[in-house]
């Protein structure tokens, strides 16, 4: 049987043409014409003030710099997330306060956030797991009441919304990913979203090694120098050329991903519960960008049987995050609180192959094997 990979980036002729055009044009470093065209595309998508970055990790690290996070500050974030959500603030010396996921979905629990807020809380980091929005109404109310910033880790959330608002634009700062496992890709890449205009100006400086170089090239200053802390967060314009082609194909790519998600949903949603397994739940405030189709198994042994059985059939499926509060690095700093929901998702989530070039027949094949393995 033909092997079905977990992920395969979608690359069309337009990506090849734009990269070749960039290479011929001679402007390969950051903030070239393709970067500018990407920023225009993001504005057209309703994402507001944006800055293309080398990765979502770097965009998150920029949020920590923009919020002046430092020792003594506390950051509340989910334990069930990728390490970049935590590293961005750990690097600034902040105290990480991991919150549990909800019972019904892997997103951070508003109740868990509220229990962790102290006078030293500097920011709440929300992660929109699988591109499905957290409960931003309740989290927003908490943040406003306590005067706390919100950072949206929207790495998986391109083309996804909370009550009609694009994810990443609701908090004070947001970050998107264009890693090749994401819906829209540049191989490696990210995006910083900034709601406040004054913060946007500082973000531009931080992104350019702490200099006002961008203002210099716009003719706003007669020379540029070191005016703030920063680093080199600009991606090559070659990557921006690749990304622009993806953005121009977003309806095509997303259409295919949603079709595949629907194939899985029709085949599995009403049948896996007989084996103690459930599919993702979509709250009424959220849209589905088809970033991921995952199953929540009954326990770890069942999850492992499913992954092993699919692998034996030539199908690559994957578990996901190890809860950060019990990670080899952080467990010695954890305050000992039990985070049962986060640990449950660590042990039970399995992600099925989902990419634009997957055929309906292949998705049906995957679903059939899932049911065969569960019923064995």
DSSP secondary structure letters along 93-156? TPEEEEEPBPSSSSSBPHHHHHHH--TTEEEEEEE-GGGPPP-HHHHHHHHHHHT-EEEEE-TT
Kindly list the catalytic residues. 182
Return the axis-axis angle of helices 33-44 and 13-25, rounded to nearest 10°.
140
Enumerate residues 6+ apart whose C-beta is below 8 A from 46. 166, 169
| Residue 114 exposure: Cα atoms within 13 Å on the Cβ side | 11
Find the largest Cα–Cα distance for the chain: 73
**What is d(CA 26, CA 285) in angstroms, rounded to the nearest whole number?**
46
Contact 69, 89 (CB under 8 A): yes
The two three-digit tokens of residue 27, written as one number? 């402007």
In b/e form, how buried is each residue of 68-93, taking b as 16+ CB within 10 angstroms? ebeeebbbbbbbbbbebbbbbbbebe
Residues in a beta bridge with 49: 194
**What is d(CA 256, CA 171) in angstroms, rounded to the nearest whole number?**
29
- Report the candidate in 292, 304, 290 with the shortest Cα–Cα distance to residue 346: 304
Listing from the earlier edge strand, what are the strands of the sheet with 149-153?
49-53, 190-194, 173-177, 149-153, 121-127, 74-78, 95-99
Task: Count CB neighbours of 376 within 10 A.
Answer: 7
293 by Cβ neighbours in 10 Å (0-12 / 13-18 / 19+) ranks as buried
Q: Which long-range contacts (CB under 8 A, 24 or more apart) does 356-360 make?
A: 356/10, 356/252, 356/253, 356/256, 356/257, 357/8, 357/10, 357/256, 358/4, 358/8, 358/256, 358/260, 360/259, 360/260, 360/263
């Amino acid at each position: 049987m033909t092997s079905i990979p977990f992920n395969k980036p979608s690359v069309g002729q337009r990506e090849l043409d734009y990269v070749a055009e960039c290479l011929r044009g001679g402007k390969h470093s950051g903030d070239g014409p393709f970067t500018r065209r990407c920023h225009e595309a993001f504005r057209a998508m309703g994402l507001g003030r944006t800055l293309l970055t080398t990765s979502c990790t770097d965009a998150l690290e920029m949020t920590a710099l923009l919020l002046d996070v430092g020792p003594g500050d506390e950051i509340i974030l989910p334990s069930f997330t990728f390490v970049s959500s935590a590293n961005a603030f750990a690097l600034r010396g902040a105290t990480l306060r991991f919150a549990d996921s909800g019972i019904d979905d892997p997103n951070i629990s508003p109740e868990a956030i509220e229990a962790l807020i102290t006078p030293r809380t500097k920011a709440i980091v929300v992660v929109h797991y699988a591109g499905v929005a957290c409960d931003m109404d309740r989290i927003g109310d908490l943040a406003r009441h306590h005067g706390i910033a919100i950072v949206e880790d929207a790495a998986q959330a391109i083309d996804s919304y909370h009550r009609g608002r694009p994810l990443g634009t609701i908090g004070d700062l947001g970050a998107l990913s264009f890693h090749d496992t994401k819906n829209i890709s540049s191989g490696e890449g990210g995006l910083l979203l900034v709601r406040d205009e004054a913060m946007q100006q500082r973000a531009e400086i931080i992104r350019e090694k702490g200099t006002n170089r961008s203002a210099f090239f716009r003719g706003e200053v007669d020379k540029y120098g070191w005016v703030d802390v920063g680093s080199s967060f600009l991606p090559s314009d070659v990557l921006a050329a690749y990304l622009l082609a993806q953005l121009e194909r977003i309806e095509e790519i997303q259409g295919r991903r949603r079709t595949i998600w629907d194939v899985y949903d029709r085949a599995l949603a009403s049948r896996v519960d007989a084996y103690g397994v459930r599919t993702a739940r979509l709250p009424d405030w959220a849209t589905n960008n088809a970033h991921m189709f995952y199953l929540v198994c009954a326990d770890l042994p069942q999850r492992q049987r499913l992954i092993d059985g699919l692998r034996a059939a030539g199908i690559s499926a994957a578990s996901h995050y190890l809860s950060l509060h019990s990670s080899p690095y952080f467990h010695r700093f954890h305050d000992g609180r039990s985070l049962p929901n986060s640990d449950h998702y660590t042990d039970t989530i399995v992600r099925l192959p989902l990419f634009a070039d997957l055929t309906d027949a292949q998705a049906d094949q995957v679903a059939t094997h899932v049911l065969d393995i569960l019923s064995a």
